[in-house]
Structure 1
Amino acid sequence: MPETASTPMTTPTDQLRARWGAEPGFTPEEWNPTLETMVSHRSVRQWLDREVTENQIRTIAAAAQSGSTSSNKQVVSVVAVRDPEAKRALGEVGGPNQFPHISTAPVVLVWLIDTSRIRKAVEQAQAEKPQIEYTGAEYLDEILVGACDIGVNAQNAVVAARSLGLGTCYLGSLRNNVERVGEILGAPEHVVPFLGLLVGYPDPEEPAGIKPRIPQSAYLHWDSYDAAAATDVGDYDQILADYFAQYGKPSSWTSGLVSRVGPKAVKVAKRHLLRRVFERAGFALK
C-alpha cells in the first residue's frame, strides 16, 4: 500500500524507510514532531475546496521571513496569489501537466529576487557622495544570494504550512517564462520571479506518497568529499520505479535525469533565456 498523507507511520524507522524506500541503516537517538514533519514531506497536487485564510498566509510568511538572509540584505519579496485569473495564468506558464494543480490551489506563493530596496539605498547614498561607485550588483554573486535566500524562505514556509495542517508543492516551472510571471504579478523589470509554492489543504484521496530519495550514503559525506560514493546510488533506480509503479507511472530515475538536461528539455520553455532576464534586471553577471 503506498504511503499517503493519512497512512500512519508509527516509528522514526518507519518514516526514514519511507523516505529512502529502504532500511535507513541507523536509528535516531532522538525524534520529535518537527523532524517527523520534515522527513515525511511530500508534494501535494490535489486540494480540498477549503480556503487558506489571510491569517494563515501571514503566519506562513512570518516563518518564511524569519529564515536567515545573507548579510541581512533581504533581497527577497513574496507575492501571495489568490485571484483565480492570476492562478490560471500562472498555471499556463507551468504547462499542461501542472495547470490543474496550480489553477486550483487556494494560494500560490511566488518568491522574487528583489533589489528594489538596495537600489533605493544606493540612489540615496550616491546623491550624498556621487564620487563613490556601487558596482556589487554587477556580479553573479548577487543572483546567488537572492536564490539562496529564497530557498531558505521557501523551506521555512513549507515546514510552517505543514505544521498548520496544510500541504505544499514547489513550482520551479514558473521559470518556464519568468517574463510572463513578472507581467502577471505586476513586477518591474528589475524584480525577477524565481520560485513558486502552492499551499492548500491536501485531498486525502490523492494517490501520492513520500517519494524516495537517493541513499544517504551518496548524499552525506564525512570530513571530505567521496567521489565514488556520490555516484553510487545502489538500487535507487529500481526503488523509484517500484514507487511510481504503485501509481501506474513507470519511471527510471537515471533516464529521467538525463532527459531533463537534454536539448529538448532545455529549450521546451524559456529557461534558456534567464540570463537575458537577469541582464535586463541590472545584473551584469561578472
Structure 2
Amino acid sequence: MSLQDSRLRLQARYGHEVSWAPPEWNETLDLLLAHRSVRRFLDVDIHDETIRTLIAAAQSGPTSSNHQIISVVAVRSQDTKQALFEVGGPKQKHIVQAPVVLVWLIDFRRVHTIAGRAQVPLGGLDYLDALLIGATDAGIAAQNAATAAESMGLGTVLLGSLRNDVHRVAELLELPVDVIPFLGMALGHPDPEEPASTKPRLRQEAVLHHEKYNSKNTAAELDDYEEVIGDYYRSYGLDPRWAARTVERLSQSTATATRRHLQSGYYRDAGLGLK
C-alpha cells in the first residue's frame, strides 16, 4: 500500500483533499478509513466459528478495571429478528435481512454473583459511572468486532434502534433483570449492489483541538460540512439537511416517540442508582 492510497482514503472520508499526509500507511489504517455501514446483505450464512472469532476480537478490547461486564446474544431466529425489527422501526429492514444480529449487553449478573458469594454490597452500582463504564465497554467491544468482521470481508451496521424499547428486547432474549440490552449489530456478507460509499465526516479542524478547546471556527466548519454531506446525500436521492436532521433527532418529540425515554426506569430495575 502506498501513500497515494492514503490520499484517496482521506479524500473520501472528508469529502475533499486534506493538507496533511500520514507518515506511513498500512492495511489496518486502510481498513479503518474505508469503513461504511452495510444495510443490505447477501443470503449467505455466517459460521459459528466466525462469530466466535469476532467475539474473541471484541473481548480483546480494553475493559474498565478488567470488570468484563459485557455479554453478547447472537440471534439467528427469523422470528426473533422480526420482533427486533418491529422494535427498531420501519427503516431497519436490515435487521431481518442480516443472517445474524448480535445484541451487546451490559451484564451485571456476574458481578452480582461474585458479590453474593462474598456477601459484599455493590454500593458502586448506585452511581451513574457504573452505567457509563458498561456503555463504554460495549462500544469498544462492538467496534472491535466490527473491524474484525470487515477484515474478514463481512459488513456490519450498529443498531442503536434496539434501545427504542429495551423492555421488549429483554423479554425477547429472556434476559435476567440485571442484564441490560444496549446495542445491536446486524452482521453479514455485504450485497455488492447496495448503493453506498464512504460517508464524509466533519473536517478535523472541527474535532481536533490542541491543548485547549477552540470554539472560534465552529459555525464555519459546520457550514462547510453541511455542504459536503449534503452533496453526499443528494447523490443517493436523500434529504441533504444534516444540521436540521441532527437537531430534529435530539428534539423532545423524537426522544419520546419511542420508549427510549423510559430507559432510566429499566436501568434502575437492573440495580443501578444513577446518582
TM range (shorter): over 0.9
> Which residue of 2 is the match for residue 87 of structure 1?
81
Find the aligned partners of 2:187 and 2:127 in 1 and give their Cα distance: 34
Find the aligned partners of 1:233 and 1:264 in 2 and give their Cα distance: 24
> Aligned AA for 1:39?
L
The question of 1:188 aligning with 2:182 is answered no
Q: Do the aligned partners of 1:238 and 1:252 also contact (CA within 8 Å) in 2?
A: no
Greater Cα offset, 132-141 or 12-21 = 132-141
Deviation at 1:229, TM superposition (A): 4.0
> Which residue of 2 is the match for residue 277 of structure 1?
266
What is the TM-score with the length of structure 1 in the denominator?
0.92
> Aligned AA for 2:264?
R
Question: 1:128-277 to 2 correspondence within 5 Å?
Answer: 133-230=121-218, 232-277=221-266
* Secondary structure at 1:195 match in 2: strand
Find the aligned partners of 2:105 and 2:173 in 1 and give their Cα distance: 10
Deviation at 1:234, TM superposition (A): 4.2
- For the aligned residue pairs, the C-alpha RMSD in angstroms reads 1.3
Find the aligned partners of 2:38 and 2:122 in 1 and give their Cα distance: 43
* Alignment counterpart, residue 123 of structure 1, candidates 93, 108, 116: 116
Deviation at 1:264, TM superposition (A): 1.7
> Which residue of 2 is the match for residue 61 of structure 1?
55
Deviation at 1:27, TM superposition (A): 1.0
> Which residue of 2 is the match for residue 102 of structure 1?
95
Find the aligned partners of 1:133 and 1:272 in 2 and give their Cα distance: 29
* Structure 1 runs of 4+ with >4 Å offset: none
Find the aligned partners of 2:57 and 2:81 in 1 and give their Cα distance: 23
Find the aligned partners of 1:134 and 1:77 in 2 and give their Cα distance: 20
> Which residue of 2 is the match for residue 25 of structure 1?
19
Q: Percent identity?
A: 48
1:122-178 CA distance string (max 9 Å, x none): 11111xxxxx64311111110000000001101100110001000000000000000
What is the TM-score with the length of structure 2 in the denominator?
0.96
Find the aligned partners of 2:62 and 2:200 in 1 and give their Cα distance: 28
> Aligned AA for 2:87?
V
Q: Do the aligned partners of 2:160 and 2:182 also contact (CA within 8 Å) in 1?
A: yes
* Secondary structure at 1:211 match in 2: coil
Q: Do the aligned partners of 2:178 and 2:271 also contact (CA within 8 Å) in 1?
A: yes
1:74-99 CA distance string (max 9 Å, x none): 1110111111111111111110111x
Could you tell me which runs of 5 or more consecutive residues in structure 2 were left unpaired when the two chains were aligned: none
Q: Do the aligned partners of 1:172 and 1:195 also contact (CA within 8 Å) in 2?
A: yes
> Aligned AA for 1:114?
D
Deviation at 1:61, TM superposition (A): 0.5
Q: Do the aligned partners of 1:215 and 1:234 also contact (CA within 8 Å) in 2?
A: no
Find the aligned partners of 1:113 and 1:122 in 2 and give their Cα distance: 17
* Secondary structure at 1:109 match in 2: strand
Find the aligned partners of 1:134 and 1:107 in 2 and give their Cα distance: 35
Find the aligned partners of 2:183 and 2:229 in 1 and give their Cα distance: 26
CA spacing shift, 1:19–1:133, aligned 2, 3 Å:
same
* Secondary structure at 1:233 match in 2: helix
> Which residue of 1 is the match for residue 46 of structure 2?
52
Find the aligned partners of 2:217 and 2:52 in 1 and give their Cα distance: 42
Deviation at 1:230, TM superposition (A): 4.8
Greater Cα offset, 112-121 or 249-258 = 249-258
